[in-house]
Chain A
């Protein structure tokens, strides 16, 4: 019984950690601009492919440059960090192309949903053009990452080593980001812009720079998630990030729009909800997870840890 419970907790935490990472990316952008960046799923895919290429992976026969790859691959950890930074830069590009022009024209925030969705579709199609539709395995296998076995047995429960690493790295990334937001000058400036951009500007904070920083960090988190998932389940094709992006979006709403602790709690809850679905009904996992989301929102429309906003008339 305890073994089964532990297994469920581990299964839920492993997938919940990645959901939290994706949701956190959404949260950063939402908190400063009040809009959702629908290109987040595509940035997730970009991160996976960048990690693969930086580790010395070669482009397949259906890509634009078949057989092309770096002459020397980087170690996984370095490749992962550089790929996250690369995804962050592409996130920045998405901001310049899909968000900034609308902001300058004071356009309806709703339009940014469409432009970011368009940017995401373009990114995924570019990936397919460049890399082809085939799956890719990372040049270094998981045992080469840490000299660890494929599977770990914890109190009778089994977990793939890579999933445990994935959970730990996600937790570390979330912790570092939370500390940075709370303790650093830059983090506090970002929060100030999220609170009230005009007042922050009057206080000498460069709001535009903070917006760009939010997009960079958000893209970086998506890229980190993509690289980690890529090493866990390979790269199954350019569209693989879209599913995680949608799940992250649900987690964002579940946790509370714009709430960092909410994104983490929402991710873990969503992961656990999925893991709790009995195996005989595993096909209904998504339906049950979203039913929980629906139920929580009925009871708490602002999400688990979201703040209730009061509109003055």
Chain B
């Protein structure tokens, strides 16, 4: 229905202009191009100067507190680990306050690195721009491969509390970790399973194929199995977000495995164990570092009982610093043992804090720019030795952690299957591990 007069149709013409301007001469064109080039060069120069003047690394180190930045997963699928790391960092802050060494205060700035690579990169960039002296994080190895090169390029020391995949310290001089790589730890739990049942021949392997850490760890497990003369009867590939494993399990059980090896993350692993047991698997289960958290207890419940895991931390280690760590943790979180990932986050803070104190005493933070202070801190960090809850540790020149003690634990669930603990069953030193005598 029309409600008004019909508007006149508009006509667009594409007529040529009535006058024709002659093309500019070559000299005029050259002058214009030169002006444009000069303007562009001036603009780029101004931007570079502005960029340099806003780069905190180029400025003198401020006299205020030194800031450590931590980019860990508060959100996304890895938030379970991030939550444990946050507890470790909070305990470490209290420990640092109480140790009161004097000098400049150190404060911690937390940033959500979420569970994906772009978020970890964004968190690293933000913290670096805010002028942190060093970084802790990110939570996942997969994120580290994306975010660490940024810190490396800008000369910011990074201590990874939970990146165990191969190749992390090799990213660059400024990248280090306190989490021993899985190639050292993972095979220990296999040895324990074979010690308990030397007749094991049939092994089934499950791993998350879309997770860099799990794929790296499963390669180590498979190499270790081959070294022990075992070939898997099946290798099942799952995905990080999977929770229902009915199909891969029912495909595996007819192959009658005597040992199941899992390299998946905590939640998926907890469900996989539960469903394996519910569907009738009764053999031994060896799990990778992804399940190194008490957060699996509520998921696999009574079915967690008996699983074997190799660890870089044991709450049962009887050293002064571990007792202090345990005490502070239990004051905050009740009478339960801290997870390994919490102890490693504590350690990441501790080594940076102690390196800063030593550097201050040597004058390495006086009269320098932030960039120089960061470089000095990295050198100091790598040259020191530390008594940590993980035991005595140091670093190789590449930033790889040098840790001597490792543990094999068995999950023992309390009656009712609601809670449990990682009970220490074996302690190994590096010299006892075949093939590791001369390695970090």
Contact = CB atoms under 8 A, between A and B. Distances in A.
Do these two chains really belong together in a complex? Answer: yes
Interface of A: 7-8, 11, 14-15, 61-62, 125, 128, 132-137, 141, 150-151, 157-160, 163, 229, 232-234, 236-237, 239-240, 243, 274-275, 277-283, 285-286
14 contacts: A14-B246, A128-B75, A128-B79, A135-B270, A135-B298, A157-B250, A158-B279, A233-B243, A233-B275, A239-B79, A282-B237, A283-B210, A283-B238, A285-B247
Contacts of A61: 333-334
Contacts of A137: 298-299, 301, 418
Contacts of B170: none
B246 A11 contact: yes
A133 B275 contact: no
A11 B247 contact: yes
B158 interface: no
Contacts of A279: 234, 236, 247-248, 251-252
A156 B378 CA distance: 62
A55 B233 CA distance: 41
A180 B278 CA distance: 36
B203 to A, nearest CB: 15
Contacts of B298: 134-137, 234
B327 interface: no
B301 A150 contact: no
A157 B234 CA distance: 19
B267 A135 contact: yes
Contacts of A285: 239, 247
B247 A275 contact: yes
Given A151-B280, A163-B246, A133 B80 contact: yes
Interface in B213-236: 234-236
Contacts of B295: 134-135
A278 B235 CA distance: 12
Contacts of B275: 160, 233
Given A61-B333, A132-B83, A135-B298, A7 B278 contact: no
Contacts of B296: 135
A279 B76 CA distance: 28
B250 A239 contact: no
A134 B83 CA distance: 8
B369 interface: no
A8 B277 CA distance: 20
Given A11-B250, A282-B236, 7 more contacts: A15-B246, A134-B80, A137-B301, A160-B279, A163-B246, A236-B243, A279-B236
Given A160-B278, A282-B236, A234 B270 contact: yes
B271 A237 contact: no
B47 interface: no
Chain A to chain B: the 7 pairs with minimum beta-carbon distance, closest first: A283-B237, A279-B251, A236-B267, A133-B79, A283-B209, A137-B298, A150-B278
Interface string B14-31: 000000000000000000
B360 interface: no
A61 B248 CA distance: 34
B281 to A, nearest CB: 11
Contacts of B234: 279-280
A133 B333 CA distance: 15
A232 B271 CA distance: 9
